[in-house]
Amino acid sequence: MPLTIPREEYMQQGHTACAGCGATLSMRYVLKGMGPKSAVVVPASCWSVIPGELPYTSLKVPLLYTPFASAGAAISGLREGLDAQGKQDYNVIAFAGDGGTADIGLQGLSAAVERGHNVLYVMYDNEAYMNTGIQRSGSTPYGAWTTTTPVGSKRDYKRENKKFVADLMMAQNAPYVATAAIGFPEDLERKLSVAKSIKGPKFIQILSPCPPGWNYNSADTVRVSRLAVESRIFPLYEFRNGKLTLFKPSKTVPVSQYLYLQGRFSHLYDSEVKVIESAVEERWQSLLRKEQV
Amino acid sequence: MPILPITYVSTSTREMSSWRTSKPIIEYSKCTRCAICWKFCPDVAIDLVSDPSIKSPNEKFSSLEAPLINLNYCKGCGICATECPFGAIEMVREEI
């Protein structure tokens, strides 16, 4: 049987991610797509503990840890350093979580895109600060339970909407912006090969479900990510040369099907699910309008 | 600055099997070698091996590469069992 994604593994066994981790699959696919001539920069996030403690490492490519806010600055410096040594064929990748991208690292990312370095910034979006114990981030969606937006006798679930960093990068007119989901690895590999062919700052946001943080059975990781796309709550799109291309799933499912699978949304009443449904539809329509411009 | 050697040890030298509460068992007589389990394994614990002696639904499939689960690394998340389109993988509870 021909394989649909590259066979080579640059992420090795024995890492310390939870069972069913979506972020690990993201890294596996990104390194498969980018190849052995890559250097990965990881700010504080789940991925700063997954590769293992010294002297262990689970990646076959060089890995650089940076403070929380500096992934954008570190990839800029690494790129310029490699270029000065004449190593233009190396790919420089930042692999940051949503806290390190949407909240703490946003200025570093925005500045790196503005300066126009030839780098790839991957945001693996697990929609909260999972490594430190599921605290709410700017990327947490409306209605979600986290440890800082708890739901008990007082229903203090998150009342603010998700910040879509890919939309921000589109507004900044980055040469290549894409969203992807681990449930569609072939689509992600294609987007990575497009990103590889473009010189300049690239940004890819990958939805990476988290079994303990989203409170679902670890066997459902890929299913949840696929449902997120089919229910349009996480639309897949590509932005290149100022043109937006939206992926329209052939099969659509109600948003409630995605929400009910996860414990973090189990407190929502039907009326609140309706609010989410209408917000999802509104965003979908606005993306459709942007596509036609 | 003196140049220091940097040593590293691959994490694949250690076992992860103690994390597991249930393990996947492949029923090869149902396996069509589609490699979907290999594609979605977050622990890279599934190898593709060419071994014609492994059972297969019929002759046509026996020449293809079969998935082989490396139980040293499998954490028992169960993604392979959920994603297998032919229901050829079953999660079996680990005995202590």
What are A150's two structure tokens? 């708890």
- The pLDDT score that the predictor gives to residue A277 is 96
- Measured between CB atoms, does B7 come within 8 Å of chain A? yes
Q: How confident is the model at residue A293 (pLDDT cuts 50, 70, 90)?
A: confident
What are the residue ranges spanned by the domains of chain A?
22-292
The fold of the B26-93 domain, in CATH, is: Alpha-Beta Plaits (3.30.70)
Q: What b/e string do you get for B14-34 counting C-beta neighbours within 10 Å, with b at 16 or more?
A: eebeeebebbbebebeebbbb
* Residue A279 to residue B87: CA distance in whole angstroms: 37
Cα–Cα distance between A238 and A37 in angstroms, integer? 25
A229 band by pLDDT with thresholds 50, 70 and 90: very high
ipTM score for this prediction? 0.92
Point out the least confidently predicted range of A10-19, A97-106, B51-60, B77-86: B51-60
Give the tens place of pLDDT for each residue, A113-132: 999 999 999 999 999 999 99
A22–B8 C-beta distance less than 8 A: no
Range list of β-strands (E), A88-165 = 91-97, 120-125
Distance of CA A269 to the CA centre of its chain: 28
Interchain contact, B77 vs A11, CB within 8 Å: no
A-to-B residue pairs, Cβ atoms closer than 8 angstroms:
102
pLDDT of B6: 66
Which residue is associated with the tokens 């979006």? A125
Tens digit of each residue's pLDDT (9 = 90 or more) over A133-177? 999 999 999 999 999 999 999 999 999 999 999 999 999 999 999
The pLDDT score that the predictor gives to residue A55 is 83
3-class SS at A256?
helix
φ, ψ of residue A125 to 5 degrees: the values are -95, 100
CATH code for the domain defined by A22-292: 3.40.50.970
Average pLDDT in the A218-237 region? 96
| Beta pairing class for A176-181 and A237-240 | antiparallel
Question: How much is the pLDDT for A50?
Answer: 93
Average model confidence (pLDDT) across chain A: 94
Find, in chain A, the residue whose alpha carbon is nearest to that of B75: A19
**Per the CB < 8 Å rule, is B78 touching A58?**
no
The model's confidence at residue A1, banded by pLDDT at 50, 70 and 90, is low
Segment A68-114, tens digit of pLDDT: 999 999 999 999 999 999 999 999 999 999 999 999 999 999 999 99
From A166, A198, A204, select the one nearest A184 (Cα to Cα). Answer: A204
pLDDT tens for each residue of B3-50 = 666 667 889 888 888 999 999 999 999 999 999 999 999 999 999 999
pLDDT for residue B1 is more than 70: no
Which residue ranges make up each domain of chain B? 26-93
A55 and B75 within 8 Å at the Cβ level: the answer is no
Confidence of residue B75 (pLDDT cuts 50, 70, 90): very high
> CA dist A261 to A79, A202, B90, Å?
42, 32, 21
